[in-house]
Amino acid sequence: MLSLWRIETGHLWLATSANEVNMTDSERDRPIIELKGVKKIYQMGTERVRALDGVDLVINHNEYVAIMGPSGSGKSTMMNIIGCLDSPTDGTYILNGQEVSEMDDNELANVRNREIGFVFQTFNLLPRVNCLQNVELPLIYSGRRKNERREMAAQALRNVGLGDRMTHRPNELSGGQRQRVAVARAIVNEPSILLADEPTGNLDTKTGNEIMLLFEALYRRGNTVLVVTHEEEVARHARRIIRLRDGLIEIDEPVNDPALAGADVEDVLTDAEAEV
């Protein structure tokens, strides 16, 4: 894994300046996620729940988007569809130019494993195995050899500042550290899209900021980042905010003055750029 950044004692260090990693402007303007008239309707007895009611959405490569909206407005449903964990009742989802409903099982498994990293509010780590083994899991699915897996998982953990916690089990870590393990697991395969559904929901402000630092770094490396959040402060780290209501996009607006994660990021960035 390219080690373009790392976290140390709460500081984000970038080895290169922002947004210049292997991506031209025309690549960046290409859609990576396209939803066309996407509906998700649940039949609950006699009642039909319209979780998504015809969503049209285009997200380009290397966007950083926050998804907001009241409880029940369809945020998780939309993220699950974007992450290919669920499929729409109606409408079309085109991922990287390819219609997802036309993918066969192999292609879908590959996309889930290699293109998309998912971070959940509740971390979803395996409790009985240590950090290294948790982060190795997606690499087992993608058929990497044992030594390679070990090395990649170790590097991903170092990248999230947990090089000294590799043999700890999840219950031997703080909440923020657990969520960082979950981020390491989501990025170990170097997916192009990172999806996070309320990743800071169970964290205090300081540890939440550590996670936002990681997302800023991934965005700057050229990844596409989507974060569901209830908190305006968290959303303001993104460059675009989409607000859902009753299964529809109500507002879709740019963030004019995005908050940079961690007050010291700017200084560190300047230092890093000065070093280049």
Write out the residues near Mg ion by the rule CB under 5 A. Answer: 76
The Cα 21–Cα 203 span in angstroms is 30
Site string for ligand ATP, 53-92 (x = CB under 6 A): ----------------x-xxxxxxx---------------
CB of residue 73 vs ligand ATP: minimum separation in angstroms? 4
* Residue closer to ligand ATP (CB basis): 190 or 231: 231
CB of residue 80 vs Mg ion: minimum separation in angstroms? 9
CB of residue 216 vs ligand ATP: minimum separation in angstroms? 23
CB of residue 211 vs ligand ATP: minimum separation in angstroms? 18
- The one segment of 44-52, 91-99, 185-193, 255-263 that binds ligand ATP by CB under 6 A: 44-52
Residues 214-243 interacting with ligand ATP (rule: CB under 6 A): none
Q: Of 14, 51, 269, 272, which lies in the binding site for ligand ATP, with binding defined by CB under 6 A?
A: 51
CB of residue 72 vs ligand ATP: minimum separation in angstroms? 4
* Residue closer to ligand ATP (CB basis): 65 or 154: 65
The answer to whether 42 contacts ligand ATP (rule: CB under 6 A) is yes
The answer to whether 251 contacts ligand ATP (rule: CB under 6 A) is no
